[in-house]
Amino acid sequence: MPDDALGLGLDMPQQAKPVAAGGAAYRVLARKYRPQTFAELIGQGAMVQTLGNAIKRDRLAHAFLMTGVRGVGKTSTARLIAKALNCIGPDGQGGPTIDPCGLCEPCVAIAEGRHIDVIEMDAASHTGVDDVREIIEAVRYSAVSARYKIYIIDEVHMLSKNAFNALLKTLEEPPGHVKFLFATTEVNKVPITVLSRCQRFDLKRISTELLARHFADIAAKEAVGAEEEALTLVAQAAEGSVRDGLSILDQAIAHADMEGDGTVTASQVRDMLGLSDRGAIRRLFGLILAGDAQAMLAEAKSQYNLGVEPLAMFAGLLSEVHRLTLAKIGAPRDGALDAAAATVVDDFADQLSFSNLHRLWQLLLKGQEEVGRALVPLDAADMALLRVIHAASLPDPGKLAKMIAQGSFNAASPTSAPTALDIPPPTTVQTLMPANFDALLERLSREGYVSLEMTLRDVVRLVEYSPPLLAYQLAGPVVPDFVAELRDALAKITGTRWDVEEREGPAQPSLLEKERAQADADRHAIMESPLVKAAFAAFPEAELLDSDTEETKWSKRA
């Protein structure tokens, strides 16, 4: 109601609409940079080539289905196909082409969403059989001004079962002037009877590297400075979706404008996306490894008070275990980590064994399920985290089986089981290491690395044995990849990466050299005994034979 009708006599100012610098309403990047040609559609080269070949050979299907995660270009591809099929070229004489001109009336009208023969329908709001019946009735009539009448149905999986059934006959045998273009994020919900009548294209997630380059081009067009690391973080957060990434980039540009010279920096993007909170998760993870229950509970409560939900806390811990496991197998570094965080991750990965990491994963995953079902999530989170700490002190099933077999585990006496944490604190994390070099050789032999054990025994002179460090000198030849094989074997039997290096300085004799020296000493002692001297004096032609020589064996048989 106007103000004068209320008798106020006030001229209230109208609320101004936000406008861009040029006077036009601002268009978000996701809309502004929607692909207008197949050349601008990134990451879908195989699909574009297939479509191009089909158009050149005039082997066009009557129905296409585009599937993939959000924001990879399904609807954009459908519109590009509509352009490609209806383009007539700038001179009005062109035919279907994989490179629509973008200048003719059909191309312009389709791009602006106003072409009368290109009908877009959102299946989420048109799910019923009546909506499909309208399409069935309309396909009988030829296109008004275009070469093909095209129906683009977005989120087609939302159609009801009856709607799908009503569409089947028309979809299988449509008139020659009609093409159907379907898009969906959940292809598993589309009936197989519909899938079998369509030419299907699975649009891939866009790689982080390709997204980062794409965002760099857009930032340059927008005259916005952006650090390479910042764009990589945006691309990672997009999870393969161009649209999601452009929305995040829009937000990052606005965030940068508020805080400085307009340059999008990595630190700003981390803060904006909440990546800095991973430091708190990593701190909680370190307290769990240290077995400090009170400090761990206090940290969890602190994060809860700051607004971190228990489920999100467990998701962060699981993500941390996943990251450590990938780091341990040598996967490429996570670009979302700064240098300090990457150092911490590498340190944890070096110190934790694979069995530790797998056990942590299972315990945290079980805890996450319990927290999700609990009436009081924080209490359930506390109990689950305490279980992670205390379950770590138990031997793993394989170790327990060995203890039972050896008779060293007494179920009635819990103190007979190891009491030290199987997952030690980060500064002192150690896996169960062989106590000395001889024990290491025995372990290698027991685990099946017999040739390595023999090489170490025969030609390796020990300089230093401080697990996980092994320094040595060679007393003979070894195979070319000896060091690599030894590192791999030590990592597998101990769960920790070892430093294996050849070093100058004082060294112990090899075990073979020790055995030979001991044999020579024993022989000298025997030769010096009075009884043996008397025997040689009586029988000058006699020889002293080793107990395992062939002559001795034959003499024993005789």
Domain ranges of the chain: 29-202, 225-273, 278-406, 433-558
Q: Reading across the β-sheet that carries 149-154, which strands appear in turn?
A: 118-122, 149-154, 178-184, 63-67, 199-202
pTM, two decimals, is: 0.58
Give the integer Cα–Cα distance in Å for 136 and 165.
Answer: 12
Q: What per-residue confidence (pLDDT) applies to 392?
A: 58
CATH code at 278-406? 1.20.272.10
Q: What per-residue confidence (pLDDT) applies to 276?
A: 54
Give the integer Cα–Cα distance in Å for 440 and 500.
Answer: 14
Give the integer Cα–Cα distance in Å for 414 and 429.
Answer: 23
Q: Which residues pair with 180 in a beta bridge?
A: 63, 151
Count of alpha carbons within 13 angstroms of residue 44, beta-carbon side: 30
Give the integer Cα–Cα distance in Å for 416 and 237.
Answer: 49
User: Hey, CA dihedral for 76, 81, 84, 85, is it positive or negative?
Assistant: negative
- 8 A C-beta contact, residue 507 and residue 463: yes
Q: What per-residue confidence (pLDDT) applies to 118?
A: 92
Q: What φ, ψ does residue 119 adopt, rounded to 5°? A: -105, 120
Q: What is the 3-state secondary structure (H, E, C) of 399-425?
A: HHHHHHHHCCCCCCCHHHCCCCCCCCC
Structure tokens at 195: 């899938």
- 8 A C-beta contact, residue 66 and residue 201: yes
Q: What per-residue confidence (pLDDT) applies to 19?
A: 47
Pairing of strands 469-474, 499-502: parallel
CATH code at 29-202? 3.40.50.300
- 8 A C-beta contact, residue 265 and residue 256: yes
**CATH fold of 225-273:** Helicase, Ruva Protein; domain 3 (1.10.8)
Please report, as a single letter, which amino acid is at residue 325.
T
Q: What per-residue confidence (pLDDT) applies to 425?
A: 42
Please report, as a single letter, which amino acid is at residue 14.
Q
Those residues whose C-beta lies under 8 Å from the C-beta of residue 368, and which sit 6 or more positions away, are 311, 314, 315, 318, 384
pLDDT per position in the chain (558 positions), as tens?
444 443 333 343 344 444 444 556 778 898 888 888 888 888 888 888 988 899 888 888 899 999 988 888 899 999 999 999 999 988 888 889 999 988 999 999 998 889 999 999 988 888 888 888 889 998 988 889 889 999 999 999 999 999 999 999 888 888 889 999 999 999 999 999 999 999 999 998 888 889 999 999 999 998 888 988 889 889 888 888 899 999 999 988 888 766 567 788 888 887 787 665 677 888 898 888 888 889 899 999 988 887 788 998 898 899 888 888 888 887 776 666 666 677 777 777 777 788 888 888 999 999 999 999 999 999 999 999 999 888 755 555 556 556 556 655 554 444 333 333 444 444 333 447 888 888 888 888 888 888 888 888 888 998 988 888 889 999 888 887 888 888 888 888 887 888 888 888 888 998 888 888 888 888 888 888 888 777 777 777 777 666 554 444 434 333
Q: Which residues pair with 64 in a beta bridge?
A: 181, 199
Q: What per-residue confidence (pLDDT) applies to 127?
A: 84
Q: Would you say the CATH fold of 278-406 matches that of 225-273?
A: no
Q: What per-residue confidence (pLDDT) applies to 351?
A: 77
